[in-house]
Structure 1
Amino acid sequence: MEFSKFKVGLTSTAIILGCAGVTYLFYRKNKLRDATNAFKYLTIKIVTNESLCNEVVLELKRRCQSHHAIGFDCEWVTDHGKRKPVALLQLSTFDGYCGLFRLNCLGRVPESLKELLEDRTIYKVGVAPDDDGRYLYQDYNIALKGTLDVRHIARLSGHKPGGLGALSQSLLGIMLDKSWRIRCSDWESEQLSERQIKYAAADAHVAIKMFVKLVNDLSVKNIWLLFRKKNGDIWNNLDKLCWQYSDIHFKLNVNNLKNNVSKEKNSGKKDKESFTLSKRYVHSIRTKPLYHNCFLEAPDGELLCTCDNKKAMWYVEKQLANIVKEDPLTVRLRFEPAGRCVGDVGRYYQLTKENKCVVCGATNSYIRKNVVPREYRKYFPDVMKDHSSHDVVLLCVACHQRSNMGDQCVREKLATLCNAPMVSKDFTKYSEDATCKKIRSAARALLYQSKKHVLPEARRKLLEDTVLQYYPDQTKVTEALLLEAADLQVVFENTEYECHGQKVVEHFVAQEGLLRLEEMWREHFLTTMQPKYMPELWSVKHNEERLRVRFNEGRLSEEDMKLIGISWAGNEK
């Protein structure tokens, strides 16, 4: 009897707990708000002419001043797997002012909108905004600047990054309309439907809403961050938080895969989002200082330049110089150098350099950064390859990765300007024929098998059949046939291959001169990275000043001047 009472009581408790669980799940499900109801306060402007565009852009700029950011998204039509030009551009401020710019109706991007999109001081936040920016550049020649993938900030705040819909639910409790019917609808139609309008506005607005929430959460969690600011307002110091993520592509790459797999085995459950954000960086970190700051002197004791230990000792070992001081190591040449230090361009090489990141000042690790990428410089004439150390600076791992990602936009611009398309890694100058390689390998295995290691009969027959497939008119494998097959050509040159870097250099040689290409890359590095610790006297015009000196000394030929595009040569005699 007592056991029955206990059983009944246990059953009742289970029913109560089950009901409570159902009630909790029902509460959680209903706690999520539909975007249509949550964003009833939005003011949506549909822009189809330039006059209204100017008006909406002006209002967007006014309203985004407090957060220095704006929600951003794009829509387009895909026809039979091929993407058409961007049809709709969505921008939204935090207070709910949304501009839906119908680019397919406008036909082009008006100047006011172009200025807003290319304004680096206003962040365009969203999920994968850099991808949309690439399409805008391809379709309308808009160089979108200041993109910020909200997933960077989500990760920084301790949230697992996901798609726009997943982030909206986890951060705001708002469920977006992500039906394929609306996502793949006709964004070029004469009139957008009410559902299309609400969907497009919500996607842009939810991005800025999440961004503001994440930044505010960071300012609360990291109290020390506020005390570092002059006025304690994180929004007036937003660049210090976001600059390292601006215009950087977000990648969901597995880094510590072994650790994740181990955790999954231990827990017995597989976490679909067990990933980290960055893969192992392929560039090697320096284990030794780049700058040793040894001194190289002319025979009369005049300082020529600083250099590393290896270079200084090379002169000594070749009996071309003598050591005049051990610390710091100073060597004096026994011969007269080709040139002496002249002006600031000469003084640059005399200065000592610091072993630290030129952007953020980090000293714990650094990587060499070629400001002018080697894929272009290797095609420069020798006169411009000399003294290329000016364009080699040190960056920490994070800044190096950010800089390399930012370089891609310049490559794409050069590809268009110089008609030098970027080719995929799979399409190289030389390709390997897999079939020929297989036949050659089989022939060599048969030909060079040793007497001690005779191939098994089944293996030998398989290899002979492989060789005979290439020679259908032969019925028997002979030594002469094997010798011919063992020498088959495997690597072939792709006749359609065009080297991007070489074509770019050829274009500048024929048009603007190579000095302009160098200066373009240097200006890009200064603009995108905003380095705080560049070497003293580092200059965008460095090579022009150096070559001007060489010209005045009679050490520059007419052919060199034509290659590099020195227009001032005739006035300097």
Structure 2
Amino acid sequence: MQTSTRNKLCVATAALAVGCSVSYIFYKMRKVLQNAADLFNYLTIKTVNTEEFCDEVVGELRRRCQKHRALGFDCEWVTDKGKRHPVALVQLSSFDGYCGLFRLNKMKTVPASLKDLLEDETIYKVGVAPADDGKYLSHDYGVALKSTLDIRHLAKLNGFEAGGLATLSSTLLGAVLDKSWRIRCSDWEAEEMSQRQVEYAAIDAHVAIRIFAILLEKLGKKETVLSWVFGTGGPSVWARLDEHCSQYADVHFKMKPVKLRDGAKEKPDRVKEPQVPTKRYQALVRQQPLYHNSYLHAPDGEVLCTCNTKKAMWFVNKGLADVLTEEPLSVRLRFEPAGRAVGEAGRYYTLEKENKCVVCGDSNSYIRKNIVPREYRKNFPEIMKEHSSHDVVLLCARCHQLSNMHDLAVRESLARDVGAPLPSEKSAKKSYEDPVRKKIRSTARALLYMSHKLPEERRKELEEYLLQHYPDQDVITEELLNEACEIQVVFENENYESHGVKVVDYYSKNGGLLLLEELWRKHFLDAMKPRYMPALWSLKHNEERLRGRLKEGRISEEDLKTIGLTSL
């Protein structure tokens, strides 16, 4: 009896303790959570309307972010009737509370000092989905924003729920952000911003850098505990900033997968594939080696090039070559080839190539990357399409995705400079849908096939709409419905001109296509900074190769002008 009473007393005491603890936690939460405007009343906010003042504020931001090498970042714009206006405001904040609000709509362009800061890859621009804002800056102003970092990556590493900025702010800073739609959707292009707009914009950027610092230092503390346990030491987390952040730079944060609908069956477990940023890359990743490094020899034994095993054996199987060695596979042609490896450009094709990402060195899986995109290369003259393997390299899935993101800025720049709209723009589409005709067709199909299921009021409404577009008809007939069901909805755009064709045509007439090739090669080197490029890979590879052709008299005058090769 005494034992039973003692147990009940213990349970009651435990329940009381738990209840008190929960109450205390909620009490503390109520006490800790504060309005962000009150909590961050120390901010120094500079609203920038001129290029001269922009240079001053950018200089101060650079000075203040030397330790953290990161700035809180955000953008604002106006959306009118579903259409987005160009970015009106860029917000940047240092950790100590110096905030620059750059009103691009007032300056009409991005000053050089601000553009250099946004494109400086040594300084991280941190926030929630900053890469999305970067896409808009690229489209609107040609700014190639670099080293964006979504703080949700670090939140997930620390075991926090990766919610939005408001959720992370209340969890980690105890600050309640003003997320009223009235302020979020306010007029960011107004002649003068309101005090509430200024505070909202500055706090959003500042909260991002504060959260970033907290999350990074939490990672540092974990490492400190491990180093104490194992008796190892090391530099501070800020000294190893790139080690923690570079793998997430310019990488979109992927939210949790959507839950399955009721009754849907989960797919059976599979052996895990190498993790890649997005689903569409899983189908593209190649696991087999691209380079087999088999050798192709001329009849006199000179090495012509390396190639894959299948190509080498094709010559053997056709009776056009003989096998010299099995490992590595070497075959000698029985006929004189059209050309031989000449100079450094020719020797490039005789060297062995490594099956790994040319940027990070990952050799587990990779994707072919066309440094000069195919939308341009396919429109080059045949003489420049030959030996295009020089501009095909291997990238891992993550580097391939990053490279494509960087490419977008160059494509958009070319679109502006050349006046060649990208396919995503309405004026650059091959065809377009007539919305009125589409509605007529859908109305007719509803009446023809679903009339018996429609409420009487709705059926009459649809009939009246259809008769408005057939004024010579008094009543709805089956013949009319059949005719309306088959009306043409999609029309060819008579003004369509391919972006790639237009860019290639422009360079053909203005300096030559070698300039376009070199532009893309230089962009790849600058944007990706590859560490494992093949030996003898060159910015001017095609120029060197074609000069050899020119000496042999194998280039026409017309091709010379198009290529941009005017002299020996």
Give the alignment's TM-score, normalised by structure 1. Answer: 0.79
Distance 1:160 1:260 in 2: 27
Equivalences for residues 341-420 of structure 1 within 5 A: 341-420=341-420
The one-character-per-residue Cα deviations of 1:44-100 (angstroms, maximum 9, x if unpaired) are 223334443322221111110111111112223334444334333221111111122
Q: 8 Å contact 1:255–1:279 — kept in the other structure? A: no
Counterpart in the other structure of 2:147: 146
The one-character-per-residue Cα deviations of 1:473-532 (angstroms, maximum 9, x if unpaired) are xxxxxxxxxxxx9xx999974434432222222222222322222222222222222111
Change (3 A) 1:406 1:160: farther
The one-character-per-residue Cα deviations of 1:432-479 (angstroms, maximum 9, x if unpaired) are 99979x99xx9xxxxxxxxxxxxxxxxxxxxxx98884459xxxxxxx
Change (3 A) 1:20 1:325: closer
Equivalences for residues 248-287 of structure 1 within 5 A: 248-252=251-255, 254=257, 278-281=278-281, 283-287=283-287
State the 1:251 CA deviation.
Answer: 4.5
The one-character-per-residue Cα deviations of 1:338-363 (angstroms, maximum 9, x if unpaired) are 22222211111111111111112112
> What stretches of structure 1 of length at least 5 have no aligned partner?
1-6, 264-275, 443-464, 473-484
**RMSD between aligned alpha carbons?**
3.9
Change (3 A) 1:528 1:139: closer
Counterpart in the other structure of 1:243: 246
- 1:317 equivalenced with 2:320 (yes/no): no
- SS of structure 1 residue aligned to 2:238: helix
Distance 2:284 2:111 in 1: 45
Counterpart in the other structure of 1:32: 33
Counterpart in the other structure of 2:522: 523
- SS of structure 1 residue aligned to 2:322: strand
Deviates more, 1:248-257 or 1:36-45: 248-257
Change (3 A) 1:57 1:225: farther
Equivalences for residues 101-500 of structure 1 within 5 A: 101-222=102-223, 232-252=235-255, 254=257, 278-281=278-281, 283-424=283-424, 429=430, 469-470=481-482, 493-500=492-499
Distance 1:97 1:529 in 2: 31
Change (3 A) 1:499 1:153: farther
Change (3 A) 1:500 1:104: closer
AA aligned to 1:499 is S
Change (3 A) 1:145 1:183: same
State the 1:277 CA deviation.
Answer: 7.2
Q: 8 Å contact 2:143–2:409 — kept in the other structure? A: no
Q: 8 Å contact 1:253–1:277 — kept in the other structure? A: no
Deviates more, 1:514-523 or 1:157-166: 157-166
Distance 2:335 2:74 in 1: 65
Change (3 A) 1:32 1:373: same
Q: 8 Å contact 2:415–2:499 — kept in the other structure? A: yes
Q: 8 Å contact 1:253–1:278 — kept in the other structure? A: no
Deviates more, 1:77-86 or 1:551-560: 77-86
AA aligned to 2:95 is F
Deviates more, 1:19-28 or 1:118-127: 19-28
State the 1:563 CA deviation.
Answer: 2.1
Q: 8 Å contact 2:138–2:412 — kept in the other structure? A: no
The one-character-per-residue Cα deviations of 1:270-291 (angstroms, maximum 9, x if unpaired) are xxxxxx9743525422232111
Equivalences for residues 58-73 of structure 1 within 5 A: 58-73=59-74
Change (3 A) 1:221 1:277: farther
AA aligned to 2:318 is K
Count of residues paired in the alignment: 512
Change (3 A) 1:258 1:430: same
Equivalences for residues 11-22 of structure 1 within 5 A: 21-22=22-23
> What stretches of structure 2 of length at least 5 have no aligned partner?
1-7, 267-275, 449-476
- SS of structure 2 residue aligned to 1:235: coil
Q: 8 Å contact 1:244–1:402 — kept in the other structure? A: no
Counterpart in the other structure of 2:96: 95
